[in-house]
């Protein structure tokens, strides 16, 4: 026991003297442990087990996709209440299902002030379906959903805290919701955030409700055990085919049914990014371990003489091994302790970096302790294994060799094959990480720099759903017209408009035909339903002909505008003004148009209508009154910052009709950041962090190894200079001794990048995974960093006094 204590004290003194080595090794271990644990924790809690609901991994929706538009993202998920009942009652694949209608509700406080909250109307079995008990009070039941039942609602934990300050005494109180006294019966736990709502109210679906302008219900089903989403498709397709005959307006002529998991609707677009990041952080762990191993091997070279002397003086093998085990254990535990702190801090930073709506509100993201323990154990093996090298080296060779080597200055570069292999490995992996980060950066900059055709930073928008109260196109347009005219009078407003269009995603998918023009392939594109002010509001230019006017909104003349891409792609650049275009989707509109031929009256400049980077699609614009859809977006262009206009925009809608509650009010720039740029920014930020840490570890590792080697070869360099070698000769020798392995690592890294970067093809846009500019830039950066890492120690070699070296000889 005394000898072990003595070894521990000696190990602490030894490590304290070599603080640079200890700091580098501990940081490398900690970074590896922290980054791997943080990423694994997010993937486990966000991708694998995010929902606290019963059978959360079996929750699915139903989507109807237009088979003629394979490039179309997403599909219809909302259904008439009659449709919902058919899917719910006729399926054979769900063990239970619920319906949800999402909207906003107005709460009137005692002073008469209105507050708007996000509401979900849910079928009576919704809370039993989810299987989570209330935090306070009770949840709603099927009895509460009956038409003659008194109105009740359930509050979310978040709204309970923010609006009611967590007051438990509000249970049983009555509040005015949309003008109706409604009793609060319960408060749900923090993780219950079904459909992102702030409060929930019960409803019973009405089989007689077939009005296309009524509220559409989302269906959430729980698959029976053993049934996969793919297995459920045939059964649900039979129901969909039957419903398509009853409601042909709601189903494309050719469609297919898809059954997406609930988690895919929330984080589906980030799933691949997170898995790629997991691979990247695995490489970072390897770099960290290789770095530590390299440092330990370099240190072992420096201590060979020490252990040879101790062994020749009678120290046994176990005593030397125990000494090194103590040192390695101290080093490993320091790295593990700091790694745990890095894991906790890294997880908080990762959650802060995740874009809004990247992960479900229900997800409880916390450190995954089994993963942390496994990562710590794996990482701690590195110092324990490589830390024993000096002891084994002392017994695997003639003990006199290290002593003679010290006198004659044998080259450390010739004895460091494993160190050199580890340098090659580190550089190769770092090049791969840097190449991935470079590709993501170039892709993100291309997306951000793409010309959208409009100024998003000056626009604020909201969505208006008029519902079945406004059941004619004349009533719908009158509301939109009055709202726009009111907004145009507000101070600071440059323009305002209403449109069934959302740049940069366009409007309604459709197919076209132009009279007198034959074509073999199907002409697909977009339809935008706009008022007379839309082009002025978003900043589109009229290139030829005339624009839509208020007179065109009366629907007496069927006229349309087309974009520049329509002209160049479909008509070969020929002047379209005066030609007739058939817009096929109008045959399936809420108010169908037979033979929907429109006269082209003008050509507009292109607006992005298929994402920020994908090619612009042909698009036609017709009068908003042609739709009959009962919903539209409102766009307001301001003279300055549009954010303060959000509240005024919502107030303007409510002033016209308090039953029409605006939704998704925000600046267009914020919506672009959330729905267009968020995935690219998320991948770029995290991948760049890992690549930067890996790059730093490589630089530190190369510098440390070359420095250790130089410190062991000072006498050799002194002798060389005594025999006539110039300073630049010694500098060149040291730099080349390190750079040859860096260059080999770069070559291997390029080959690895070509083979593996293809997995990122869905994460980048506008460039290929073999982008030469990115690869050349990364190679140059790594080569320059390697030269610097080798040059700094080489300066130390040139300061050796030749006389001292000759005196040793």
Tell me the pLDDT tens digit for each residue of 400-416.
555 554 544 443 444 46
The pLDDT of residue 325 is above 60: yes
Distance between CA atoms of residues 64 and 83, nearest Å: 12
Contacts of residue 349, defined as CB under 8 A and 6 or more positions apart, other chains included, come to 38
**Mean pLDDT of the 355-384 span:** 79
CB 459 within 8 A of CB 667: yes
pTM (whole model) above 0.85: no
Between CA 174 and CA 753 the distance in angstroms is 63
Stretch among 12-16, 321-325, 539-543 having the lowest mean pLDDT:
321-325
- Inter-residue contact 568 to 519 (CB < 8 Å): no
Cβ-based neighbour number of residue 3 at 10 Å: 10
pLDDT at site 255 = 94
The pLDDT > 70 percentage for the chain reads: 92
Q: Mean pLDDT check: name the lowest of 25-29, 385-389, 448-452, 586-590.
A: 385-389
**pLDDT score, position 154:** 98
In sequence order, the β-bridge partners of residue 96 are 222
Name which of 262-271, 495-504, 534-543, 742-751 the model is least confident about.
Answer: 262-271
240 within 8 A of 198, measured Cβ to Cβ: no
pLDDT band of residue 245 (cuts 50, 70, 90) is very high
If you search the block for the tokens 């809420």, which residue do you land on? 590
Instruction: Over range 646-670, report the average pLDDT.
Output: 91
Q: Does residue 698 carry a pLDDT above 90?
A: no
Residue 488 φ then ψ, to 5°: -65, -20
pLDDT attached to residue 804: 60
Which of 64-78, 215-229, 260-274 is least confident? 260-274
pLDDT bracket for residue 738 (50, 70, 90): confident
Cβ atoms of 363 and 36 within 8 Å: the answer is no
Candidate from 8-22, 97-111, 716-730 with smallest mean pLDDT? 716-730
Q: Quickly state the pLDDT bin for 399 (edges 50, 70, 90).
A: low
> What pLDDT is attached to residue 580?
97
pLDDT on residue 398: 55
Q: Residue 468 above 90 pLDDT?
A: no
CA distance linking residue 75 with residue 257, whole number of Å? 9
Tokens encoding 554: 């009366």
Q: Over 80: is that where the pLDDT of 739 sits?
A: yes
Question: Does position 332 have pLDDT exceeding 50, yes or no?
Answer: yes
d(CA 282, CA 33): 10
- Residues for the chain: how many in total? 809
pLDDT the model gives residue 537: 95
Q: Which stretch of 360-364, 630-634, 795-799 has the lowest confidence by average pLDDT?
A: 795-799
Q: Is the pLDDT of residue 390 over 80?
A: no
pLDDT at 483: 97
> 584 by DSSP, 3-state: which?
helix
pLDDT of residue 408: 44
């Amino acid at each position: 026991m005394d000898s072990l204590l003595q070894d521990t004290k000696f190990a602490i003194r030894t490590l304290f003297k070599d603080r640079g080595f200890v700091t580098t090794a501990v940081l490398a271990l900690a970074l590896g442990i922290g980054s791997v644990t943080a990423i694994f924790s997010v993937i486990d809690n966000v991708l694998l087990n995010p929902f606290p609901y019963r059978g959360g991994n079996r929750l699915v929706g139903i989507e109807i996709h237009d088979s003629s538009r394979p490039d179309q993202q997403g599909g219809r998920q909302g259904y008439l209440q009659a449709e919902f009942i058919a899917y719910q009652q006729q399926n054979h694949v769900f063990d239970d299902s619920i319906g949800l209608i999402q909207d906003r509700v107005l709460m009137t406080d005692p002073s008469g002030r209105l507050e708007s909250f996000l509401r979900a109307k849910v079928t009576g079995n919704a809370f039993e379906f989810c299987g989570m008990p209330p935090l306070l009070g009770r949840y709603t039941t099927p009895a509460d959903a009956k038409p003659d039942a008194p109105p009740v609602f359930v509050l979310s934990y978040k709204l309970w805290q923010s609006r009611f300050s967590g007051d438990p005494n509000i249970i049983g109180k009555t509040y005015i919701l949309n003008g109706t006294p409604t009793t609060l019966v319960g408060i749900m736990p923090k993780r219950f955030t079904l459909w992102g709502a702030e409060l929930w109210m019960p409803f019973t679906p009405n089989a007689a409700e077939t009005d296309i302008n009524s509220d559409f219900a989302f269906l959430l089903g729980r698959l029976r055990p053993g049934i996969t989403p793919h297995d459920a498709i045939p059964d649900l397709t039979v129901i969909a085919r039957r419903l398509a005959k009853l409601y042909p307006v709601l189903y494309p002529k050719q469609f297919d049914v898809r059954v997406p998991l609930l988690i895919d609707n929330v984080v589906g677009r980030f799933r691949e990014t997170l898995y790629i990041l997991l691979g990247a952080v695995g490489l970072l762990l390897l770099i960290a371990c290789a770095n530590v191993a390299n440092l330990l091997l370099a240190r072992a070279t420096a201590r060979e003489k020490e252990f040879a002397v101790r062994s020749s003086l009678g120290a046994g093998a176990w005593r030397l091994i125990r000494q090194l085990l103590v040192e390695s254990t101290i080093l490993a535990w320091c790295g593990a302790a700091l790694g745990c702190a890095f894991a906790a801090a890294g997880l908080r930073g990762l959650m802060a970096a995740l874009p809004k709506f990247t992960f479900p509100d229900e997800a409880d993201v916390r450190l995954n302790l089994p993963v942390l323990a496994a990562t710590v154990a794996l990482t701690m093996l590195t110092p324990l294994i490589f830390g024993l090298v000096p002891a084994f080296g002392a017994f695997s060779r003639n003990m006199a060799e290290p002593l003679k080597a010290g006198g004659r200055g044998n080259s450390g570069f010739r004895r460091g094959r494993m160190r050199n292999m580890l340098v090659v490995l580190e550089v190769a992996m770092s090049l791969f990480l840097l190449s991935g980060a470079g590709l993501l950066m170039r892709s993100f900059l291309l997306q951000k720099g793409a010309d959208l055709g409009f100024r998003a930073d000056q626009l604020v928008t909201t969505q208006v759903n008029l519902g079945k109260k406004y059941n004619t196109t004349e009533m719908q347009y009158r509301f939109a017209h009055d709202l726009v005219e009111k907004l145009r009078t507000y101070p600071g407003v440059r323009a305002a408009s209403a449109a069934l269009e959302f740049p940069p995603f366009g409007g309604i998918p459709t197919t076209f035909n132009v009279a007198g023009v034959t074509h073999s392939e199907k002409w697909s594109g977009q339809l935008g339903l706009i008022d007379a002010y839309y082009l002025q509001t978003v900043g589109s230019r009229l290139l030829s002909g005339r624009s839509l006017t208020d007179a065109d909104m009366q629907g007496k003349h069927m006229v349309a505008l087309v974009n520049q891409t329509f002209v160049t792609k479909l008509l070969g650049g020929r002047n379209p003004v005066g030609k007739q275009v058939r817009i096929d989707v109008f045959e399936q509109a809420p108010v169908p148009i037979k033979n929907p031929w429109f006269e082209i009256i003008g050509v507009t400049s292109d607006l992005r209508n298929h994402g920020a980077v994908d090619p612009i699609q042909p698009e036609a614009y017709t009068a908003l009154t042609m739709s009959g859809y009962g919903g539209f977006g409102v766009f307001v262009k301001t003279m300055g910052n549009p954010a303060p206009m959000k509240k005024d925009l919502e107030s303007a809608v409510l002033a016209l009709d308090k039953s029409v509650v605006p939704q998704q009010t925000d600046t267009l720039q914020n919506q672009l950041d959330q729905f267009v740029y968020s995935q690219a920014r998320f991948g770029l930020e995290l991948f760049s962090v890992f690549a930067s840490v890996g790059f730093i570890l490589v630089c530190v590792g190369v510098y440390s190894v070359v420095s250790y080697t130089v410190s062991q070869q000072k006498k050799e360099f002194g002798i060389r200079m005594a025999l006539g070698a110039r300073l630049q000769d010694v500098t060149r020798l040291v730099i080349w001794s390190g750079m040859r392995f860096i260059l080999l690592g770069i070559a291997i890294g390029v080959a690895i990048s070509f083979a593996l970067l293809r997995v990122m093809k869905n994460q980048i846009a506008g460039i290929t995974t073999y982008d030469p500019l990115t690869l050349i830039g990364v190679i140059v950066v790594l080569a320059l960093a390697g030269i610097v890492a080798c040059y700094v120690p080489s300066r130390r070699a040139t300061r050796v006094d030749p006389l001292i070296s000759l005196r040793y000889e």
